[in-house]
Structure 1
Amino acid sequence: MSNKIIDAHIHLDMYKPDERSGILRDMEVNDVDALIAVSNDLASAQGTLRLAHEDNRVKPALGFHPEQPLPADEEVGDLLAMIEQYSDRLVAIGEVGLPYYIQREGKVTAREREAYVHILDAFIQKAAQLNKPVALHAIYEDAPEVVGLLEKHSLSNAHFHWFKGDSDTMLQMRRNGYFISVTPDILYKNKTRELARQYPLDKMMAETDGPWPFEGPFKGKMTHPYMIHHSVRELAALKRVPAEDVYKSLYDNTRRLYKF
Protein backbone atom coordinates (compact mmCIF):
# COMPACT_ATOMS: atom_id res chain seq x y z
CA MET A 1 0.00 0.00 0.00
CA SER A 2 1.29 3.45 -0.96
CA ASN A 3 0.65 6.39 1.35
CA LYS A 4 2.22 8.95 -0.96
CA ILE A 5 0.73 12.43 -0.77
CA ILE A 6 0.90 15.67 -2.74
CA ASP A 7 0.32 19.06 -1.19
CA ALA A 8 -2.06 20.52 -3.78
CA HIS A 9 -1.68 24.14 -2.61
CA ILE A 10 1.20 25.63 -0.65
CA HIS A 11 2.89 29.05 -0.60
CA LEU A 12 6.38 27.59 -0.33
CA ASP A 13 8.13 30.90 -1.03
CA MET A 14 6.48 32.48 2.03
CA TYR A 15 8.23 30.20 4.52
CA LYS A 16 11.43 31.28 6.22
CA PRO A 17 14.50 29.82 4.48
CA ASP A 18 15.23 27.32 7.27
CA GLU A 19 11.58 26.23 7.42
CA ARG A 20 11.48 25.76 3.67
CA SER A 21 14.72 23.77 3.71
CA GLY A 22 13.29 21.52 6.41
CA ILE A 23 10.12 20.87 4.44
CA LEU A 24 12.09 19.93 1.33
CA ARG A 25 14.58 17.84 3.31
CA ASP A 26 11.84 15.85 5.03
CA MET A 27 9.60 15.22 2.03
CA GLU A 28 10.73 11.66 1.43
CA VAL A 29 10.52 10.55 5.04
CA ASN A 30 6.99 12.03 5.21
CA ASP A 31 5.93 10.35 1.93
CA VAL A 32 5.39 13.74 0.29
CA ASP A 33 5.85 13.26 -3.44
CA ALA A 34 5.36 16.83 -4.70
CA LEU A 35 4.27 20.35 -3.77
CA ILE A 36 2.00 22.51 -5.93
CA ALA A 37 3.64 25.84 -5.15
CA VAL A 38 1.40 28.82 -5.90
CA SER A 39 2.45 32.46 -6.17
CA ASN A 40 1.12 35.73 -4.72
CA ASP A 41 2.53 38.39 -7.06
CA LEU A 42 5.38 39.05 -9.48
CA ALA A 43 8.18 38.76 -6.91
CA SER A 44 6.58 35.63 -5.49
CA ALA A 45 6.31 34.15 -8.98
CA GLN A 46 10.01 34.76 -9.58
CA GLY A 47 10.86 33.14 -6.25
CA THR A 48 8.62 30.15 -6.92
CA LEU A 49 10.27 29.58 -10.30
CA ARG A 50 13.68 29.59 -8.59
CA LEU A 51 12.52 27.01 -6.06
CA ALA A 52 11.16 24.80 -8.83
CA HIS A 53 14.45 25.09 -10.72
CA GLU A 54 16.37 23.98 -7.61
CA ASP A 55 14.04 21.05 -6.77
CA ASN A 56 11.87 19.35 -9.38
CA ARG A 57 9.45 18.13 -6.71
CA VAL A 58 8.27 21.76 -6.50
CA LYS A 59 5.60 22.22 -9.17
CA PRO A 60 5.17 25.96 -9.84
CA ALA A 61 2.02 27.96 -10.47
CA LEU A 62 2.14 31.69 -11.22
CA GLY A 63 -0.56 34.24 -10.45
CA PHE A 64 -1.72 37.17 -8.33
CA HIS A 65 -3.43 36.56 -4.99
CA PRO A 66 -6.49 38.84 -4.78
CA GLU A 67 -6.43 39.55 -1.03
CA GLN A 68 -4.06 42.51 -1.48
CA PRO A 69 -4.17 45.94 -3.13
CA LEU A 70 -4.66 46.02 -6.88
CA PRO A 71 -1.45 45.53 -8.86
CA ALA A 72 -0.25 47.99 -11.45
CA ASP A 73 -1.19 47.15 -15.02
CA GLU A 74 2.50 46.64 -15.71
CA GLU A 75 2.76 43.93 -13.06
CA VAL A 76 -0.24 42.06 -14.47
CA GLY A 77 1.30 42.32 -17.94
CA ASP A 78 4.63 41.04 -16.66
CA LEU A 79 2.94 38.10 -14.92
CA LEU A 80 1.01 37.14 -18.05
CA ALA A 81 4.20 37.41 -20.10
CA MET A 82 6.07 35.25 -17.57
CA ILE A 83 3.30 32.66 -17.68
CA GLU A 84 3.61 32.56 -21.45
CA GLN A 85 7.41 32.38 -21.33
CA TYR A 86 7.58 29.55 -18.78
CA SER A 87 4.39 27.73 -19.72
CA ASP A 88 6.23 24.45 -20.32
CA ARG A 89 7.50 24.52 -16.71
CA LEU A 90 4.22 25.53 -15.05
CA VAL A 91 1.61 23.13 -13.77
CA ALA A 92 -1.02 25.87 -13.34
CA ILE A 93 -1.95 29.52 -13.17
CA GLY A 94 -2.55 30.56 -9.60
CA GLU A 95 -3.29 31.63 -7.04
CA VAL A 96 -5.88 33.91 -8.61
CA GLY A 97 -9.40 34.92 -7.67
CA LEU A 98 -11.50 37.66 -6.09
CA PRO A 99 -10.89 39.70 -2.90
CA TYR A 100 -13.58 38.42 -0.54
CA TYR A 101 -11.95 39.27 2.81
CA ILE A 102 -10.54 42.71 2.06
CA GLN A 103 -13.82 43.68 0.43
CA ARG A 104 -15.66 42.74 3.63
CA GLU A 105 -13.22 44.95 5.52
CA GLY A 106 -14.23 47.90 3.31
CA LYS A 107 -10.86 48.09 1.55
CA VAL A 108 -12.26 47.55 -1.97
CA THR A 109 -14.61 49.94 -3.77
CA ALA A 110 -17.14 48.77 -6.34
CA ARG A 111 -14.96 50.17 -9.11
CA GLU A 112 -11.87 48.45 -7.74
CA ARG A 113 -13.72 45.15 -7.55
CA GLU A 114 -14.48 45.43 -11.25
CA ALA A 115 -10.74 45.72 -11.80
CA TYR A 116 -10.13 42.52 -9.79
CA VAL A 117 -12.72 40.75 -11.95
CA HIS A 118 -10.99 42.02 -15.10
CA ILE A 119 -7.61 40.74 -13.87
CA LEU A 120 -9.07 37.34 -12.98
CA ASP A 121 -10.73 37.14 -16.39
CA ALA A 122 -7.34 37.75 -18.04
CA PHE A 123 -5.71 34.95 -16.04
CA ILE A 124 -8.53 32.52 -16.78
CA GLN A 125 -8.37 33.40 -20.46
CA LYS A 126 -4.61 32.75 -20.43
CA ALA A 127 -5.17 29.40 -18.69
CA ALA A 128 -7.66 28.41 -21.36
CA GLN A 129 -5.27 29.45 -24.14
CA LEU A 130 -2.39 27.46 -22.66
CA ASN A 131 -4.54 24.52 -21.55
CA LYS A 132 -3.42 24.96 -17.96
CA PRO A 133 -5.52 24.41 -14.82
CA VAL A 134 -6.25 27.40 -12.61
CA ALA A 135 -5.84 27.47 -8.80
CA LEU A 136 -8.59 29.66 -7.40
CA HIS A 137 -9.30 31.77 -4.34
CA ALA A 138 -13.07 31.96 -4.84
CA ILE A 139 -15.25 31.63 -1.78
CA TYR A 140 -18.73 32.41 -0.48
CA GLU A 141 -20.54 35.02 -2.61
CA ASP A 142 -17.62 35.32 -5.03
CA ALA A 143 -17.69 31.69 -6.09
CA PRO A 144 -20.73 31.84 -8.45
CA GLU A 145 -19.19 34.77 -10.34
CA VAL A 146 -15.94 32.86 -10.74
CA VAL A 147 -17.84 29.82 -11.99
CA GLY A 148 -19.39 32.12 -14.59
CA LEU A 149 -15.95 33.29 -15.75
CA LEU A 150 -14.76 29.69 -16.06
CA GLU A 151 -17.84 28.84 -18.12
CA LYS A 152 -17.31 31.93 -20.27
CA HIS A 153 -13.87 30.65 -21.30
CA SER A 154 -14.89 26.95 -21.35
CA LEU A 155 -12.22 26.16 -18.76
CA SER A 156 -13.06 22.97 -16.90
CA ASN A 157 -9.68 22.35 -15.24
CA ALA A 158 -10.29 24.43 -12.14
CA HIS A 159 -9.20 23.94 -8.54
CA PHE A 160 -11.20 25.79 -5.89
CA HIS A 161 -8.72 25.63 -3.06
CA TRP A 162 -10.10 25.58 0.52
CA PHE A 163 -13.59 26.14 -0.90
CA LYS A 164 -16.31 27.69 1.24
CA GLY A 165 -19.72 28.40 -0.24
CA ASP A 166 -23.39 27.57 -0.56
CA SER A 167 -24.84 24.23 -1.64
CA ASP A 168 -26.17 25.53 -4.98
CA THR A 169 -22.71 26.70 -6.02
CA MET A 170 -21.21 23.43 -4.85
CA LEU A 171 -23.69 21.49 -7.00
CA GLN A 172 -22.81 23.62 -10.03
CA MET A 173 -19.12 23.00 -9.38
CA ARG A 174 -19.78 19.28 -9.20
CA ARG A 175 -21.70 19.35 -12.47
CA ASN A 176 -18.84 21.22 -14.15
CA GLY A 177 -16.26 18.78 -12.84
CA TYR A 178 -14.22 21.28 -10.82
CA PHE A 179 -11.85 20.10 -8.10
CA ILE A 180 -11.72 21.16 -4.47
CA SER A 181 -9.12 20.49 -1.81
CA VAL A 182 -9.42 20.05 1.94
CA THR A 183 -7.03 21.43 4.53
CA PRO A 184 -6.13 20.13 7.99
CA ASP A 185 -9.13 22.03 9.36
CA ILE A 186 -11.16 18.97 8.30
CA LEU A 187 -10.24 17.64 11.73
CA TYR A 188 -12.15 20.34 13.59
CA LYS A 189 -14.28 22.53 11.28
CA ASN A 190 -17.84 21.25 10.80
CA LYS A 191 -18.37 23.11 7.49
CA THR A 192 -15.26 21.56 6.00
CA ARG A 193 -16.30 18.14 7.24
CA GLU A 194 -19.76 18.47 5.69
CA LEU A 195 -18.31 19.62 2.38
CA ALA A 196 -15.96 16.63 2.43
CA ARG A 197 -18.89 14.27 2.95
CA GLN A 198 -20.80 15.71 0.01
CA TYR A 199 -18.16 16.31 -2.65
CA PRO A 200 -17.21 13.32 -4.84
CA LEU A 201 -13.89 11.74 -3.92
CA ASP A 202 -12.74 11.64 -7.55
CA LYS A 203 -12.79 15.47 -7.60
CA MET A 204 -10.96 16.05 -4.32
CA MET A 205 -7.37 16.79 -3.33
CA ALA A 206 -5.57 17.69 -0.09
CA GLU A 207 -3.60 20.83 0.70
CA THR A 208 -2.09 22.80 3.55
CA ASP A 209 -2.16 26.38 2.18
CA GLY A 210 1.00 26.70 4.25
CA PRO A 211 2.34 28.65 5.95
CA TRP A 212 -1.22 29.53 7.00
CA PRO A 213 -1.56 28.25 10.61
CA PHE A 214 -4.23 25.87 11.88
CA GLU A 215 -6.05 25.32 15.14
CA GLY A 216 -7.22 22.13 16.85
CA PRO A 217 -4.46 19.51 17.12
CA PHE A 218 -2.15 21.73 15.03
CA LYS A 219 -2.39 24.85 17.17
CA GLY A 220 1.02 26.48 17.58
CA LYS A 221 2.67 24.22 15.03
CA MET A 222 4.30 25.27 11.78
CA THR A 223 2.08 24.19 8.92
CA HIS A 224 3.79 21.27 7.21
CA PRO A 225 2.75 18.91 4.38
CA TYR A 226 2.89 15.92 6.76
CA MET A 227 -0.39 17.23 8.20
CA ILE A 228 -2.11 15.96 5.06
CA HIS A 229 -1.79 12.41 6.41
CA HIS A 230 -4.14 13.42 9.23
CA SER A 231 -6.52 14.96 6.68
CA VAL A 232 -6.52 11.79 4.59
CA ARG A 233 -7.36 9.55 7.53
CA GLU A 234 -10.12 11.90 8.66
CA LEU A 235 -11.55 12.08 5.13
CA ALA A 236 -11.53 8.30 4.95
CA ALA A 237 -13.52 8.13 8.17
CA LEU A 238 -16.03 10.72 6.93
CA LYS A 239 -16.43 8.95 3.57
CA ARG A 240 -16.47 5.52 5.24
CA VAL A 241 -13.97 4.12 2.79
CA PRO A 242 -10.54 2.54 3.42
CA ALA A 243 -7.73 5.03 3.97
CA GLU A 244 -5.65 3.42 1.21
CA ASP A 245 -8.44 4.19 -1.28
CA VAL A 246 -8.45 7.84 -0.23
CA TYR A 247 -4.66 8.08 -0.47
CA LYS A 248 -4.78 6.70 -4.01
CA SER A 249 -7.68 8.88 -5.12
CA LEU A 250 -6.23 12.15 -3.84
CA TYR A 251 -2.80 11.37 -5.26
CA ASP A 252 -4.15 10.33 -8.66
CA ASN A 253 -6.57 13.28 -8.81
CA THR A 254 -3.78 15.78 -8.21
CA ARG A 255 -1.51 14.19 -10.79
CA ARG A 256 -4.38 14.13 -13.29
CA LEU A 257 -5.39 17.76 -12.85
CA TYR A 258 -1.87 19.19 -12.73
CA LYS A 259 -0.51 16.83 -15.41
CA PHE A 260 2.84 15.75 -14.01
Structure 2
Amino acid sequence: MQFIDSHCHINFPDLAVQADLLLQQMEQNQVSHALCVSVNLPDLPSVLAMAERYPNIYASVGVHPDYEDTPEPSVEQLVELAQHPKVIAIGETGLDYYRLEGDLEWQRERFRTHIRAARACGKPLIIHTRSASDDTLRIMQEERAGDIGGVMHCFTESWVVAEAAMAQNFYISFSGIVTFKNAVELKDVAQRVPLDRMLIETDSPYLAPVPFRGKMNHPALVKHVAEHIANLRGTSVAAIAEATTANFFQLFKAARQ
Protein backbone atom coordinates (compact mmCIF):
# COMPACT_ATOMS: atom_id res chain seq x y z
CA MET A 1 0.00 0.00 0.00
CA GLN A 2 1.27 3.45 -0.92
CA PHE A 3 -0.04 7.00 -0.86
CA ILE A 4 0.86 10.00 -3.01
CA ASP A 5 0.68 13.64 -1.94
CA SER A 6 -0.53 15.23 -5.17
CA HIS A 7 -0.06 18.82 -3.97
CA CYS A 8 2.39 20.27 -1.45
CA HIS A 9 4.74 23.22 -1.02
CA ILE A 10 7.76 21.65 0.63
CA ASN A 11 9.97 24.32 -0.95
CA PHE A 12 8.45 26.88 1.44
CA PRO A 13 11.12 27.87 4.00
CA ASP A 14 9.62 26.22 7.10
CA LEU A 15 9.49 22.85 5.33
CA ALA A 16 12.57 23.18 3.12
CA VAL A 17 14.91 23.44 6.11
CA GLN A 18 13.82 19.96 7.21
CA ALA A 19 13.49 18.37 3.79
CA ASP A 20 15.53 15.25 4.59
CA LEU A 21 13.39 14.58 7.67
CA LEU A 22 10.19 15.10 5.67
CA LEU A 23 11.31 12.55 3.11
CA GLN A 24 12.11 10.06 5.88
CA GLN A 25 8.66 10.60 7.39
CA MET A 26 7.09 10.06 3.97
CA GLU A 27 8.83 6.70 3.68
CA GLN A 28 7.80 5.70 7.20
CA ASN A 29 4.17 6.49 6.36
CA GLN A 30 4.13 4.78 2.95
CA VAL A 31 3.94 8.06 1.02
CA SER A 32 5.88 7.17 -2.10
CA HIS A 33 5.79 10.43 -4.11
CA ALA A 34 4.85 14.09 -3.77
CA LEU A 35 4.22 16.91 -6.21
CA CYS A 36 5.82 20.19 -5.14
CA VAL A 37 3.69 22.94 -6.66
CA SER A 38 4.83 26.32 -7.96
CA VAL A 39 3.05 29.52 -6.85
CA ASN A 40 5.17 32.16 -8.62
CA LEU A 41 8.14 32.46 -10.95
CA PRO A 42 10.68 34.04 -8.54
CA ASP A 43 10.40 31.01 -6.22
CA LEU A 44 10.35 28.43 -9.02
CA PRO A 45 14.08 27.64 -8.64
CA SER A 46 13.41 26.35 -5.11
CA VAL A 47 10.63 24.09 -6.44
CA LEU A 48 12.88 22.70 -9.16
CA ALA A 49 15.76 22.25 -6.73
CA MET A 50 13.57 20.12 -4.49
CA ALA A 51 12.52 17.95 -7.43
CA GLU A 52 16.10 17.62 -8.65
CA ARG A 53 17.32 16.64 -5.20
CA TYR A 54 14.84 13.84 -4.55
CA PRO A 55 13.86 11.21 -7.16
CA ASN A 56 10.31 10.85 -5.79
CA ILE A 57 9.50 14.57 -5.74
CA TYR A 58 7.99 16.18 -8.83
CA ALA A 59 7.40 19.82 -9.75
CA SER A 60 4.94 22.10 -11.50
CA VAL A 61 5.28 25.52 -13.13
CA GLY A 62 2.76 28.28 -12.58
CA VAL A 63 1.61 31.47 -10.86
CA HIS A 64 -1.08 31.32 -8.18
CA PRO A 65 -4.07 33.68 -8.59
CA ASP A 66 -3.46 35.23 -5.15
CA TYR A 67 -0.10 36.69 -6.25
CA GLU A 68 -0.95 40.15 -7.56
CA ASP A 69 2.43 41.89 -7.59
CA THR A 70 4.57 39.24 -9.24
CA PRO A 71 6.04 38.70 -12.72
CA GLU A 72 3.29 37.76 -15.15
CA PRO A 73 4.01 34.60 -17.14
CA SER A 74 3.51 34.27 -20.87
CA VAL A 75 2.35 31.13 -22.65
CA GLU A 76 5.77 30.78 -24.25
CA GLN A 77 7.57 31.16 -20.93
CA LEU A 78 5.44 28.54 -19.20
CA VAL A 79 5.87 26.10 -22.08
CA GLU A 80 9.64 26.58 -22.01
CA LEU A 81 9.86 26.11 -18.24
CA ALA A 82 7.66 23.01 -18.47
CA GLN A 83 10.36 21.28 -20.52
CA HIS A 84 12.28 20.54 -17.31
CA PRO A 85 12.26 16.73 -16.94
CA LYS A 86 10.78 16.82 -13.42
CA VAL A 87 7.95 19.24 -14.29
CA ILE A 88 4.76 17.22 -14.71
CA ALA A 89 2.05 19.90 -14.56
CA ILE A 90 1.10 23.53 -15.19
CA GLY A 91 -0.09 25.48 -12.14
CA GLU A 92 -1.25 26.09 -9.70
CA THR A 93 -3.52 28.46 -11.53
CA GLY A 94 -7.17 29.44 -11.41
CA LEU A 95 -9.30 32.11 -9.78
CA ASP A 96 -9.58 33.32 -6.20
CA TYR A 97 -12.13 36.04 -5.41
CA TYR A 98 -11.94 35.43 -1.66
CA ARG A 99 -8.88 37.51 -0.75
CA LEU A 100 -8.73 40.07 -3.57
CA GLU A 101 -11.22 42.72 -4.59
CA GLY A 102 -11.68 45.18 -7.45
CA ASP A 103 -11.19 44.49 -11.13
CA LEU A 104 -9.81 40.94 -11.30
CA GLU A 105 -9.67 40.65 -15.07
CA TRP A 106 -5.89 40.23 -14.76
CA GLN A 107 -6.56 37.05 -12.77
CA ARG A 108 -8.83 35.68 -15.47
CA GLU A 109 -6.29 36.50 -18.18
CA ARG A 110 -3.54 34.77 -16.19
CA PHE A 111 -5.75 31.70 -15.89
CA ARG A 112 -6.30 31.66 -19.65
CA THR A 113 -2.55 31.90 -20.20
CA HIS A 114 -1.96 28.81 -18.08
CA ILE A 115 -4.64 26.78 -19.86
CA ARG A 116 -3.17 27.71 -23.23
CA ALA A 117 0.31 26.74 -22.02
CA ALA A 118 -0.93 23.39 -20.71
CA ARG A 119 -2.56 22.59 -24.01
CA ALA A 120 0.58 23.66 -25.88
CA CYS A 121 2.99 21.54 -23.84
CA GLY A 122 0.67 18.59 -23.18
CA LYS A 123 0.91 18.69 -19.39
CA PRO A 124 -2.19 18.77 -17.16
CA LEU A 125 -3.45 21.69 -15.12
CA ILE A 126 -3.54 22.16 -11.35
CA ILE A 127 -6.53 24.42 -10.70
CA HIS A 128 -7.22 26.48 -7.58
CA THR A 129 -10.70 27.97 -7.26
CA ARG A 130 -12.13 29.86 -4.31
CA SER A 131 -15.34 31.90 -4.31
CA ALA A 132 -15.11 31.83 -8.10
CA SER A 133 -16.47 28.50 -9.30
CA ASP A 134 -18.79 29.88 -12.01
CA ASP A 135 -16.05 31.90 -13.71
CA THR A 136 -13.54 29.09 -13.22
CA LEU A 137 -15.73 26.54 -14.98
CA ARG A 138 -16.68 29.03 -17.69
CA ILE A 139 -13.08 29.87 -18.56
CA MET A 140 -12.13 26.18 -18.46
CA GLN A 141 -14.87 25.58 -21.02
CA GLU A 142 -13.99 28.57 -23.20
CA GLU A 143 -10.29 27.69 -23.30
CA ARG A 144 -10.95 23.95 -23.77
CA ALA A 145 -9.11 22.93 -20.61
CA GLY A 146 -10.75 19.55 -20.94
CA ASP A 147 -8.55 18.80 -23.94
CA ILE A 148 -5.61 18.36 -21.57
CA GLY A 149 -7.39 17.78 -18.24
CA GLY A 150 -6.04 18.19 -14.76
CA VAL A 151 -7.07 18.39 -11.13
CA MET A 152 -9.26 20.65 -9.03
CA HIS A 153 -6.88 20.86 -6.10
CA CYS A 154 -7.90 21.24 -2.45
CA PHE A 155 -11.51 20.92 -3.49
CA THR A 156 -14.02 22.73 -1.25
CA GLU A 157 -16.95 23.29 -3.63
CA SER A 158 -20.32 21.60 -4.05
CA TRP A 159 -21.18 18.31 -5.76
CA VAL A 160 -22.59 20.33 -8.68
CA VAL A 161 -19.19 21.95 -9.23
CA ALA A 162 -17.43 18.60 -8.85
CA GLU A 163 -19.69 17.06 -11.50
CA ALA A 164 -19.07 19.98 -13.87
CA ALA A 165 -15.30 19.72 -13.40
CA MET A 166 -15.27 15.95 -13.90
CA ALA A 167 -17.32 16.44 -17.08
CA GLN A 168 -14.40 18.55 -18.31
CA ASN A 169 -11.90 15.73 -17.74
CA PHE A 170 -10.72 16.87 -14.29
CA TYR A 171 -9.95 14.93 -11.14
CA ILE A 172 -11.11 16.05 -7.69
CA SER A 173 -8.44 16.28 -4.99
CA PHE A 174 -9.19 16.24 -1.28
CA SER A 175 -6.99 17.85 1.38
CA GLY A 176 -7.08 17.79 5.16
CA ILE A 177 -10.18 20.01 5.03
CA VAL A 178 -12.28 16.89 4.43
CA THR A 179 -11.36 15.71 7.95
CA PHE A 180 -12.67 18.90 9.59
CA LYS A 181 -15.87 18.46 11.59
CA ASN A 182 -17.71 21.35 9.93
CA ALA A 183 -16.90 20.29 6.34
CA VAL A 184 -20.26 18.56 5.96
CA GLU A 185 -20.87 19.33 2.29
CA LEU A 186 -17.32 18.36 1.36
CA LYS A 187 -17.65 15.03 3.14
CA ASP A 188 -20.71 14.37 0.98
CA VAL A 189 -18.68 15.12 -2.15
CA ALA A 190 -15.93 12.77 -0.96
CA GLN A 191 -18.48 9.99 -0.64
CA ARG A 192 -19.83 10.58 -4.16
CA VAL A 193 -16.77 11.20 -6.34
CA PRO A 194 -15.98 8.04 -8.33
CA LEU A 195 -12.79 6.38 -7.13
CA ASP A 196 -11.26 6.69 -10.59
CA ARG A 197 -11.56 10.52 -10.42
CA MET A 198 -10.10 11.07 -6.94
CA LEU A 199 -6.74 12.36 -5.71
CA ILE A 200 -5.49 13.18 -2.21
CA GLU A 201 -3.13 15.93 -1.07
CA THR A 202 -1.85 17.90 1.90
CA ASP A 203 -1.41 21.42 0.44
CA SER A 204 1.27 21.54 3.12
CA PRO A 205 2.38 23.48 5.07
CA TYR A 206 -1.31 24.38 5.37
CA LEU A 207 -4.49 22.54 6.39
CA ALA A 208 -3.11 19.69 8.48
CA PRO A 209 -5.73 16.94 8.83
CA VAL A 210 -7.34 15.94 12.11
CA PRO A 211 -5.80 15.02 14.59
CA PHE A 212 -2.98 17.42 13.61
CA ARG A 213 -5.18 20.40 12.80
CA GLY A 214 -3.47 23.70 13.63
CA LYS A 215 0.01 22.22 13.31
CA MET A 216 2.35 22.50 10.35
CA ASN A 217 1.30 20.07 7.65
CA HIS A 218 3.69 17.88 5.64
CA PRO A 219 3.38 15.13 3.00
CA ALA A 220 3.51 12.17 5.41
CA LEU A 221 0.14 13.25 6.81
CA VAL A 222 -1.67 12.62 3.53
CA LYS A 223 -2.44 9.09 4.72
CA HIS A 224 -4.84 10.62 7.27
CA VAL A 225 -6.82 12.18 4.42
CA ALA A 226 -7.05 8.74 2.80
CA GLU A 227 -8.10 7.12 6.08
CA HIS A 228 -10.88 9.64 6.63
CA ILE A 229 -12.24 9.24 3.10
CA ALA A 230 -12.14 5.46 3.48
CA ASN A 231 -14.15 5.76 6.69
CA LEU A 232 -16.69 8.07 5.01
CA ARG A 233 -17.15 5.66 2.12
CA GLY A 234 -17.17 2.49 4.22
CA THR A 235 -14.26 1.05 2.27
CA SER A 236 -10.67 0.07 3.02
CA VAL A 237 -7.78 2.49 3.24
CA ALA A 238 -5.99 0.22 0.79
CA ALA A 239 -8.73 0.83 -1.79
CA ILE A 240 -8.32 4.60 -1.49
CA ALA A 241 -4.54 4.31 -1.62
CA GLU A 242 -4.60 2.06 -4.68
CA ALA A 243 -7.09 4.23 -6.59
CA THR A 244 -5.49 7.60 -5.85
CA THR A 245 -2.01 6.30 -6.64
CA ALA A 246 -3.17 4.88 -9.98
CA ASN A 247 -4.99 8.12 -10.74
CA PHE A 248 -1.90 10.20 -10.05
CA PHE A 249 0.15 8.33 -12.65
CA GLN A 250 -2.78 8.25 -15.07
CA LEU A 251 -3.12 12.05 -14.89
CA PHE A 252 0.52 13.05 -14.56
CA LYS A 253 1.91 10.88 -17.31
CA ALA A 254 5.35 12.51 -17.16
CA ALA A 255 5.81 11.06 -13.65
CA ARG A 256 7.44 7.65 -13.32
CA GLN A 257 6.41 5.11 -10.72
**TM-score normalized by the length of structure 1:** 0.87
- Report if aligned partners of 2:175, 2:207 keep a CA contact under 8 Å in 1: no
Establish whether residue 99 from structure 1 lines up as the match of residue 90 from structure 2.
no
Where do 5+ consecutive residues of structure 2 fail to align? none
Q: Which residue of 1 aligns with 2:127?
A: 136
* Cα offset, 1:88, TM superposition: 4.7
* Structure 1 counterpart SS, 2:205: coil
Establish whether residue 207 from structure 1 lines up as the match of residue 201 from structure 2.
yes
Establish whether residue 126 from structure 1 lines up as the match of residue 126 from structure 2.
no
Deviations 1:26-48 (A, max 9, x none): 32222111111111111221211
* Structure 1 counterpart SS, 2:42: helix
Query: Structure 2 vs 1, CA of residues 224 and 250 (structure 1 numbering), >3 Å: closer, same or farther?
Result: same
- Report if aligned partners of 2:90, 2:123 keep a CA contact under 8 Å in 1: yes
Q: Which residue of 2 aligns with 1:175?
A: 167
Moved over 6 A (4+): none
Deviations 1:201-253 (A, max 9, x none): 11111100000143641134321222221211211121222221111001101
Q: Which residue of 1 aligns with 2:238?
A: 244
User: What letter is aligned with 1:18?
Assistant: V
Structure 1 stretch displaced more, 223-232 or 249-258:
223-232
- Report if aligned partners of 2:8, 2:36 keep a CA contact under 8 Å in 1: yes
Q: Which residue of 2 aligns with 1:26?
A: 25
* Cα offset, 1:19, TM superposition: 2.7
CA–CA distance in structure 2, aligned partners of residues 164 and 213 of structure 1: 12
Pick one of 227, 230, 234 that aligns with 2:224: 230
User: What letter is aligned with 2:102?
Assistant: T
* Cα offset, 1:82, TM superposition: 5.1
How many residues of Structure 1 are paired with residues of Structure 2 in the alignment? 248
User: What letter is aligned with 1:136?
Assistant: I
Percent of counterpart pairs with the same letter?
Answer: 24
Q: Which residue of 1 aligns with 2:156?
A: 164
CA–CA distance in structure 2, aligned partners of residues 13 and 175 of structure 1: 33
Query: Structure 2 vs 1, CA of residues 167 and 85 (structure 1 numbering), >3 Å: closer, same or farther?
Result: closer
Richer in helix (by share): 1
**TM-score normalized by the length of structure 2:** 0.88
1:21-100, aligned counterparts within 5 Å?
A: 21-72=20-71, 75-77=72-74, 80-81=76-77, 83-89=79-85, 90-100=87-97
Query: Structure 2 vs 1, CA of residues 80 and 222 (structure 1 numbering), >3 Å: closer, same or farther?
Result: farther
Q: Which residue of 1 aligns with 2:140?
A: 150
Aligned residues: CA RMSD:
2.0
